[in-house]
Structure 1
Amino acid sequence: MVDFGFDKLMLIGAVALVVLGPERLPRVARTVGTLLGKAQRYVADVKAEVNRSIELEELQKMKGQFETAVTDVKSSVQAHVDSANQALQSTWADLSVDGSTSEGGMSGEGGYYGGPVPVYAHPKKNWRLKRGATPLWYKQRQGVRRHAQSGAARVARFRPPRRAS
């Protein structure tokens, strides 16, 4: 970078004043200032673009490292799950070979304690029947809606009556 001290700037200003004259020097100074500003903005934009590309490359490297870590963890978890599944299958096969499932293991006819395994039955609760069993006078007092009503009808129903003038 070119180093301009105060003495060099004074020398350049004096030469410009002599060469250009006092009439054209302010206009040239404004033009030079504008060009220097544009050059500084261009350099700043180039620096920002370079920084963004460097950050993008770093993020892509981090993404690659993260993806490899994820695949490593996934493969290790899958290996553990497979080994546990194989152990479970071998234990299940050993139980089946021993004949313990027919004596009340986990088959359909008996549970762990020898009794029958209960089958899930839906609790047949009919909420419409319960709501229908409520008397109409109680529903009216509690404000339970008995019929579907549009929003406009509901507003009209609860709008105060107009006073006759």
Structure 2
Amino acid sequence: MIDFGFDKLALIGAVALIVIGPERLPKVARTVGHLLGKAQRYVADVKAEVNRSIELEELKKMKTQFEDAARNVEQTVSQEVNAVSSDFDKAWSEVTAGLPSSSGGSWEPPPVYKPPRKNWRIKRSAVPQWYRQRHGVRSRVQSGAARVARFRPPRVSSKARP
């Protein structure tokens, strides 16, 4: 802003005292102070907004540079992987060219192991199935009459008695 020294401020105060008068000078000084404070706050807000926009632009530039670098690394890695895989395939074909094949055709890798699927109904409880069977833990719901009939001793027919 404008550089005011002590001598310039004293001169402005003396002129204001003569022009405005001693009665209204304090009120005018307060009003001028409020206006200067508002102006300073406005200037500070504008500076902060400009700084934010500059930082945002810098962040966008950094983002694009980072994305470009990541893309370059990805391309380099994929090129190297392709080169190594082609070299490996070439070496593998040279090594396996002289080997006799048992099936008469080209060599195929063994099938991929798939673990057996678990039955979720069996896995619901923590008690193993063998323990339930051994200790008589019921795994199926039975009515009372069916349970009595199951454990009732077999009837002996009257013809079989002597």
Whether TM exceeds 0.5 here: the answer is yes
When residues 121 and 22 of structure 1 are mapped into structure 2, their CA distance, relative to the original with a 3 A threshold, is: closer
Residue in 2 aligned with 1:99? 99
Distance change (3 Å), C-alpha of 1:68 and 1:124: closer
Look up the equivalent residue of 1:65 and give its one-letter code.
Q
Partner of 1:8: 8
Superposition TM-score, scaled by structure 1 size? 0.61
User: TM-score, normalised to structure 2's length?
Assistant: 0.62
CA RMSD for the aligned pairs?
Answer: 3.2
For structure 1, the residue ranges without an aligned partner over 5 or more in a row are: 109-116, 138-165
Matches within 5 A, 1:1-150: 1-100=1-100, 102=102, 107-108=109-110, 122=116, 128-130=128-130, 132-133=132-133, 135=135
**Residue type at the aligned position of 1:7:** D
SS in structure 2 opposite 1:45?
A: helix
> How big is the shift at 1:17?
1.5
- What is the DSSP-based 3-state SS (H/G/I as helix, E as strand, rest coil) of the residue aligned with 2:38? helix
Q: Deviations 1:112-158 (Å, cap 9, x if unpaired)?
A: xxxxx9x6764989654156358589xxxxxxxxxxxxxxxxxxxxx
Separation in structure 2 between the aligned mates of residue 15 and residue 65 of structure 1, nearest angstrom: 59
Deviation, 1:29, is 0.9
Amino acid aligned to 2:74: K
Runs of 4+ residues over 3 Å off in structure 1:
99-103, 105-108, 119-128, 133-137
Give the whole-Å Cα distance in 1 for the aligned partners of 2:134 and 2:46: 78
The higher radius of gyration belongs to: 2
How far off its partner does 1:90 sit?
2.0
Distance 2:86 2:41 in 1: 66
Q: CA–CA distance in 1 between the matches of 2:76 and 2:29?
A: 70
C-alpha separation in 2, matches of 1:13 and 1:60: 50
User: What SS does the aligned partner of 2:16 have?
Assistant: helix
Partner Cα separation in structure 1 for residue 20 and residue 118 of structure 2: 103
Q: Cα 1:50–1:107, aligned 2, differ >3 Å: closer, same or farther? A: closer
- Structure 1 residues 124 and 30: alpha-carbon distance in aligned structure 2, compared to 1, 3 A threshold: closer
5+ unaligned residues in a row in structure 2: which ranges? 138-162
**Equivalent-residue separation in structure 2 for 1:121 and 1:28 (angstroms):** 90
- Could you tell me the percent identity over the aligned residues? 52
State whether residues 17 and 25 of structure 1, in contact with CA within 8 Å, keep that contact through their aligned partners in structure 2.
Answer: yes
